[in-house]
Structure 1
Amino acid sequence: METEKLPALPFDEWTETRITVHLLLQILGKTRLKSTTRKNHWWYITLYVTPRGFGTYSIPINDGLDSFEMEFNIKRKAVIISQSSGKEIVLSLEDSPTIADFYTRFMGEINGIGVFPKFIDRPFDVGIDKSFNEITEYHHYDWKYINTFWKLMLWNNNVFKEFSGRFYGKTCPVHIYWHHLDLVVTRFSGKKLPPMDKSARILEKETYSHEQISFGFWVGDNNVPEPMYYSYTYPSPDGIDEESLQPKGAFWQNSNGSPMAMLRYEDVKNSTNPRKAVLDFLESTYRAGAKKAKWNIDELTVPDLDQL
């Protein structure tokens, strides 16, 4: 996709489709959560952008002698469960199933291959207090917008990977956290933080165990009703919001009591060089946080090969 042709994704025009897709991906994510061995910072529960849509990659079964993976395959308009045995289960979405209908069929197929994930069968952090098998109001599959969403995530996935490769320190894969449906990459200084208060959720305790600078892209929510890039440093150092950001249009905004750097996708889409705009935003927000938190920026920077 040529960067000068980045597509529009108006928040209000695909709301029901966005929620349907979000719920569907939460079902896949929760299944991976309960079927995969633990990895630090919840890196074992995430989803990934694939050449066909969004998937889990390989998950071991049968004591590791076999594996399966799940993918929301946009090209085939289906969720596909692929097994190392060569078998493939296709759950078509072309007849626009409700989330309840999809969930019932999906769990039957997963159980049929010997996978019995015991997760909380309700959406997480999306404001819907129902079990998946009770959600009949979402059955919307506008494939034009689903395809646009995927292409945006695919493009940003590649940009984030380029940025990720510039750092020598611990870095998470570029992946999707399905509770907020945001594409994320995070850098760590290596510094362990004091344990959180016992009242904190296990989600936050595991996520924020070490000092970090996180970067993301998400297509918006009710609080920010448009696609947006963001970055924050945790813990947030004093004065970070006094640091300059790139490109022009990037700004600091208060988020839960701490500064968060933000850049509108619309500004990126309309820029003369969208890829450079995003990379400049990521680099400037990293340097703002690393400077204020006193990271050793020079030692952590990967030089060009001709500088080795």
Structure 2
Amino acid sequence: MQKLTPMPLDTWLDTKTTLHLYTQIIGKIRLACHPAKNHWWHVTLYLTARGLTTGPIPYQGSLFQIDLDFIDHQLIVSKNDSQQSAFALPGLSVQQFYHNLLDMLHAMSIYVDINTNPFDPNKVGSDIPFDLDHEHGTYDTLAVEQFWQILCAIYPIMQQFSGQFFGKCTPLHFYWHSFDYVLTFFSGKHAPLNPEMDNVAKNAYSHEVISFGFWPGDDSLPEPAFYSYAFPEPENIAKQHLAESAAWVDVGTGLLAIYKYSDWINSDDKHRALLAFLNSAYYAGARLMHWDDQLMP
């Protein structure tokens, strides 16, 4: 594991916002082209040994893929007819990124229309349409590399954790709407329908889940952290024990189990510490929701 250092949100907020908007553009292209899967699994991005990727996207009998390379700091579009193009990321406004990417796709005979409004402006920090946004363009290469290396360090631990679970489980994937790295377990039981939910949430939370993730922070917690939550939230979950220095935090929409990244990187054994947190968060929810013990024996 590479040496991990503190990463308070305010030290790279402008870069994070730019990168968040970049990923929303890429994710919306995948959303527009990929066959639908339950719980929005078809829209996410995936970690690679060089950055993030859409994975293969079907398009009119062919496949294309969009990669963010955080070593050479470029975007790459590849198509299965051997076409490939790239452009550099540093110095690009969101507007330039959007037009460069669409132009590159057009040159490969890929024509995609997306909603150019940022999804959930409060989370992304902008309500400017992508094609008009020349305000966001900060791109600190060292900060991007640091964030990506954190994801790389987390990857094997969360993969080991997911291997303990015998039920339905998501891939370990990156959600561009909220800019977090997520793994979700399902009991197989339907969740009660909440008529106040929008269509996005109704799809995501149609079944009972316990979810685990890492995100760089937000207004309520301006530093990176691991989190977990159970849905529907069981009564008295805040009384359940959490390992390490983790604590239950009320974020307004419910309770999150929070394990701060700053505490994790200072632990004596980061692999053991993160597994301990994840396991304690799982059992906190699974016991109260009466999940089958054989799902994670």
The residue type equivalent to 1:105 in the other structure is: N
Q: Using structure 2 for the length normalisation, give the TM-score.
A: 0.96
Letter in 1 for 2:164: R
Within 5 Å, give how 1:1-308 maps onto structure 2. Answer: 1-2=1-2, 5-63=3-61, 66-94=62-90, 96-125=91-120, 126-197=124-195, 199-247=196-244, 249-297=245-293, 299-301=294-296
CA separation in 2, counterparts of 1:110 and 1:137? 24
**CA distance, structure 2, for counterparts of residue 79 and residue 145 of structure 1:** 17
In structure 2, distance between residues paired with 1:203 and 1:157: 26
Amino acid at match of 2:172: V
Task: Return the alpha-carbon distance in structure 2 between the equivalents of residues 213 and 134 of structure 1.
Answer: 38
Matches of 2:22 and 2:40, distance apart in 1 = 19
Q: Answer whether contact 1:35 1:115 (CA < 8 A) is retained.
A: no
What is the count of residue pairs matched by the alignment? 294
Secondary structure of the equivalent of 1:34?
helix
Is the 1:189–1:211 contact (alpha carbons within 8 Å) kept by the matching residues of 2? yes
**How big is each residue's C-alpha offset from its partner over 1:57-101, in whole Å with a ceiling of 9 and x where there is no partner?**
1111232xx21110111112110001111211102224x111111
Corresponding residue for residue 305 of structure 1: none
Counterpart Cα distance in 1 of 2:55 and 2:217: 26
> In the aligned structure 1, how far is the partner of 2:273 from the partner of 2:116?
40
Which stretches in structure 2 are left out of the alignment for 5+ residues?
Answer: none
Identity %: 37
Any idea what SS the aligned residue of 1:253 has?
A: strand
**In 1, distance between residues paired with 2:215 and 2:16?**
12
CA offset at residue 257 of structure 1? 4.5
TM-align CA RMSD: 1.3
- Structure 1: which amino acid aligns with 2:113? K
Gaps of 5+ in 1: 303-308
